Amino acid sequence: MAVVKQPKTSEDAAAAAASRLGTRLKLARQTRGLTLKALADHAACSESLLSKIENGKASPSLPMLHRLVEVLQTNIGWMFEEVDGEEGIIFRQGARPLIALDSLRRGDRITLERVIPYSAGHLLQCNIHHIDKGGESAGPIRHVGEEVGYVIAGEVDLTVGERTFRLGAGDAFVFDSDIPHHYRNPGSERASIFWVNTPPTF
């Protein structure tokens, strides 16, 4: 039985995520035969920042990560791919991996808990978005697909296109992913959203 252990602290989780992302990003870039400068130019970011990301010394914002994987013709899920649980079916409480994006930009204050690890065989992707007080997603972002979510705890302001909705525990939503979207926690406590999208993009 293969079990993925969560890092002991959020700092460990962020460091592990940054290292994994850097390694996969470099592999994808080299596989495509791109130099650092070429990838940076196509993804509209600086070469020095891209070098730091590949070496696990920095983490990209979510919009930047979307641009990078688009140029590399892959998806964000592959960048954070984890080992499957019990026969790829069961993923125990306390053993699900955490993803901390943008670890150097603490203003975002968002951690993603993988409900199921990314796999090329899955048509759906599912995470629990944990948003600390005052935290918000980078963006707005847009991509292909469809998304559905359920607020487990706390309050969330969800912006889809030109409209913003105040959601509380028990509220749900669905929208086309090609509409620009963004969310934030306006409340006084941590908020959590059970979030599913298809096809896997993260």
- pLDDT given at position 130: 94
Contact 102, 172 (CB under 8 A): no
Distance in angstroms (rounded) separating the CA atoms of residues 116 and 103:
22
Helices assigned H by DSSP within the chain: 10-31, 36-42, 47-54, 62-72, 76-79
Integer CA distances (angstroms), 41 to 35, 45, 50, 74, in order: 10, 6, 10, 18
Closest CA to 20 of 79, 72, 77: 79
Distance in angstroms (rounded) separating the CA atoms of residues 118 and 88:
10
How confident is the prediction along the chain (202 residues), in pLDDT tens digits per residue?
333 444 445 566 667 777 878 888 887 888 778 899 999 999 999 999 999 999 888 888 888 888 998 898 887 777 776 554 555 677 788 777 777 655 443 336 888 888 877 665 667 889 999 999 999 988 788 888 899 999 999 999 999 999 999 999 999 999 999 999 999 999 999 999 999 998 776 6
Distance in angstroms (rounded) separating the CA atoms of residues 202 and 189:
26
* Span between the terminal Cα atoms of the chain, in Å: 26
Distance in angstroms (rounded) separating the CA atoms of residues 89 and 122:
11
DSSP one-letter string for 90-135: B--TTTS-EE--STT-TTS-EEEEESS---TT-S-EEEEEEE-TT-
- pTM exceeds 0.75, yes or no: no
- pLDDT given at position 192: 97
Tokens 């992913």 found at: 177
